[in-house]
């Protein structure tokens, strides 16, 4: 009897540890804004560059007031790979985003009704900064679920009414954005919607969605602009708190049974 109980205890402990480390799929939204804190990105006489890094919240093409945004600072390095991103409610995910091909970054410091006040700097707003290039920017969204589909909202607006935009291509489909309406960068023409998209297989058995952004001719120039993105779908969301409570309960139950034996 004792041997049976010990074997059961070991098995249940293993189950408990699995639950602690498990991830659970949950439909949600992940937002990413590209940010610029590099003072060198402000041209002489320009109206942006070198903004302080702050937390950004709010709704864009989709979402709700108070939604959390992941912020990726380009600084002086226009290529990046993010760490694991969180959902709009702050839940951890496996999702990361990488970008290459940008040659600079910029921040448009112009007051808007929803702009963040910041003493010593121009006010600025959600999706008011971006990566910029005269060529093609490429990137990927990693850590997705292979058996799920996703809707993507890709933002490409330089905010000054015509200095560039983005011709986005994902899964063989292309959509161009426009900077004609200036701000905000999510009023309609400034973003492109893709989906539903099924990821391809990537490292670790997780899904990947690749994207590219080509230059778009606008009133004042031809540049590639990338402000950020929103990913809507089902993500692996770790839930260590609830799993840990269940694991502790299972462990305690087995110990109690052993003592009675």
- Work out the pLDDT band at 24, boundaries 50, 70, 90: low
For the cut 80, the answer to whether the pLDDT of residue 52 exceeds it is: no
Give pLDDT, residue 128.
Answer: 75
| b/e per residue 167-195 (b: at least 16 CB within 10 A) | bbbbeeeeebbbbeebbbbbeeebbbebb
**In the structure encoding, which two tokens stand for residue 141, read together?**
């969204």
pLDDT: is 254 or 72 the higher one?
Answer: 72
Average pLDDT score, the chain: 74
pLDDT of 140 over the 80 cut: yes
- Only one residue has tokens 């808007």, namely 112
Give the residue-averaged pLDDT of 62-91.
88
**What are 162's two structure tokens?**
């015509």
Q: What is the pLDDT of residue 46?
A: 38
What is the pLDDT averaged over residues 109-115? 40
Question: What is the rounded average pLDDT of the residues 33-59?
Answer: 60
Distance CA 189, CA 163 (A): 14
CA 72 to chain centroid = 9
CA distance 193 to 189: 10
Q: Which of 54-68, 96-110, 115-129, 233-247 has the highest mean pLDDT?
A: 54-68
Looking at residue 29, its pLDDT comes to 97
Look at phi and psi of residue 189 and say left if phi exceeds 0, alpha if psi is from -120 to 50, else beta: alpha
- The secondary structure element, H or E, covering residue 8 is helix 2-21
Percentage of the residues of the chain whose pLDDT score is greater than 70: 57
Looking at per-residue confidence, does 200 or 2 come out higher? 200
* The model's pTM: 0.76
Q: What is the mean pLDDT of residues 172-181?
A: 85
Question: Tokens 């009133």 — which residue?
Answer: 219
Q: Which residue has the higher pLDDT, 4 or 76?
A: 76
Bigger pLDDT: 175 vs 256: 175
């Amino acid at each position: 009897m004792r041997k049976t109980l010990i074997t059961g205890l070991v098995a249940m402990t293993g189950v408990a540890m699995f639950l602690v480390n498990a991830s659970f799929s949950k439909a949600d939204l992940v937002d990413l804004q590209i940010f610029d804190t590099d003072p060198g990105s402000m041209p002489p006489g320009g109206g942006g560059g070198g903004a302080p890094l702050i937390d950004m919240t709010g709704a864009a093409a989709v979402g709700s007031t108070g939604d959390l945004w992941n912020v990726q600072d380009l600084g002086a390095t226009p290529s990046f790979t993010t760490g694991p991103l969180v959902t709009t409610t702050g839940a951890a995910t496996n999702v990361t985003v990488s970008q290459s091909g940008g040659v600079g970054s910029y921040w448009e410091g112009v007051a808007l009704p929803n702009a963040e006040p910041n003493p010593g700097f121009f006010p600025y707003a959600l999706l008011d900064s971006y990566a910029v290039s005269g060529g093609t920017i490429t990137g990927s969204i990693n850590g997705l679920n292979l058996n799920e589909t996703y809707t993507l909202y890709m933002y490409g607006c330089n905010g000054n009414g015509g200095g560039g935009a983005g011709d986005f291509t994902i899964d063989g489909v292309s959509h161009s954005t426009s900077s004609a309406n200036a701000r905000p960068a999510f009023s309609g023409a400034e973003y492109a919607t893709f989906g539903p998209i099924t990821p391809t297989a990537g490292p670790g058995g997780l899904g990947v969605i690749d994207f590219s952004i080509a230059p778009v001719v606008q009133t004042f120039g031809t540049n590639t602009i990338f402000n950020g993105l929103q990913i809507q779908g089902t993500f692996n969301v770790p839930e260590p708190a609830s799993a840990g409570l269940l694991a502790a309960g299972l462990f305690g139950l087995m110990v109690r049974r052993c003592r009675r034996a």
